[in-house]
Every structure is written in structure tokens, then in C-alpha cells.
A and B are shown apart, each in its own frame.
Chain A
Amino acid sequence: SQQGEEDPQALSIQEGENATMNCSYKTSINNLQWYRQNSGRGLVHLILIRSNEREKHSGRLRVTLDTSKKSSSLLITASRAADTASYFCATDPFETSGSRLTFGEGTQLTVNP
């Protein structure tokens, strides 16, 4: 079963707007990662945040992590049509770090030009 749950399941915005996606999880983690998947393709790693970090930036991406609430958010600023994709959070569990990633069900982001 999937540990992570993304919210919302689908998000449609206009180009230039910001997009925020949320992820909740259940167990202790070593780190949390966000991936992007274009339709019918493999996943691309976007950003990783460790359990002792609260916020991380990479280009137009900002990730936050609240381990007390077991939640994370991904913010994409100044969105572009090319950002249209599914976005997944994935947790790397503390006890078995490195053995597997547990993915959520994803948020389908549509950026309209």
C-alpha cells in the first residue's frame, strides 16, 4: 500500500502562477524526495530533503518538511506549460534507508498557456 498521499490529486493553473502540492506520510523517514513524471515516461528526480532539514530550494522549486506533522509541500513558482506533469513524493524510511522508496499517488499538474 502507498504510504504517501498527495493533495490535491489534480491541479490546473495558468502559466506564471505558483503551484503548491502537499504530501503526507506515516512512518519515520530518513529523507523525502519529489519526482516528476511526464505522461507515459519514467520519473525524474527533482529535489531531496533530509529529515533534519525544514526547507530547501532548487531553482523554481521550494520544498518544506514538517516531521512533527509528517507532511511536506512542493512549491513551483512562476509555472510554465512545460511543468505539466504528475508529481510524486517518495519517502525513504528511516529503518531501512536505501532499500526502497514508497511513493504517493501523485498530483497531476496542468499548466495552461
Chain B
Amino acid sequence: DTGVSQNPRHKITKRGQNVTFRCDPISEHNRLYWYRQTLGQGPEFLTYFQNEAQLEKSRLLSDRFSAERPKGSFSTLEIQRTEQGDSAMYLCASRGRRKYEQYFGPGTRLTVT
């Protein structure tokens, strides 16, 4: 499968714990995006990378959130000191050069208890 993959697919954690999600984009795509989606809403932009550079971060991305994309390949999204309000689906997408459409992974569903 050459699509975008995300791991884990589901994560249940207790409030206050740290969690890390991984996204593997389509290999030739240089842009990688993270979105968050809550039930009944559309995805909300969190941050994006062009190669290894993080070029934009949403105001939604508090200082408890950090994202990396070492070597411009896979990306990780870490949430520190999770709160119940962090419960959501975290979606990763990638985009190729000179293209505008984004290809989404299946998402990681986070539940904070």
C-alpha cells in the first residue's frame, strides 16, 4: 500500500500522560499536514511541513503539542500532559509537488480518560 499511513489507529490514555503519533506520507510527497477532527466537525488545521521545515502552526497548537519531521520523511505529533479536550481524531495528509490535492491517512483516534 503506497498511501499515507498512521500509527497507532487508536490510543486510549489517561489525563496527564504524553502520547506520540506517527505519520508516514506518500514517499514522493514533500508536504505533510496535521489536522484534528472532532465528532460532527470538519478537520481543523494544526501544522504543516515542507520537507523537514515546519512552516506554519495553527493557534490551536498549544505549547503542549509538538510536531517533527526529521529528514523530511515521516512525522511525529506529540501531545504532552494530555487533557480530555484533546480527545479527537488526528489526521495526517501529504501533498506532492505542483499538486493541490491532499491525501489523507486513516487517522489516529485519541481518547483521553
State the A residues within 8 Å of B (CB): 2, 4, 30-31, 33, 35, 40-45, 48, 88, 90, 92, 96-106
Contacts and interface: CB of A to CB of B under 8 A. Distances in A.
A42 B4 CA distance: 10
A67 to B, nearest CB: 16
B65 interface: no
Interface in B51-93: 55-56, 58, 89, 91, 93
B23 to A, nearest CB: 11
Contacts, number: 64
Interface residues of B, number: 27
Contacts of A40: 89, 107, 109
B31 interface: yes
Given A41-B106, A42-B107, A92-B100, A2 B56 contact: no
Given A99-B48, A100-B33, A100-B45, A43 B104 contact: yes
A71 B32 CA distance: 27
A33 B42 contact: no
B32 to A, nearest CB: 12
16 contacts: A2-B44, A4-B42, A31-B100, A33-B101, A40-B89, A41-B106, A42-B4, A43-B43, A45-B101, A88-B43, A90-B42, A100-B33, A101-B45, A101-B102, A103-B42, A106-B41
A48 B101 contact: yes
A101 B103 CA distance: 12
B56 A99 contact: yes
Nearest to B56: A99
Nearest to A99: B56
B106 A42 contact: yes
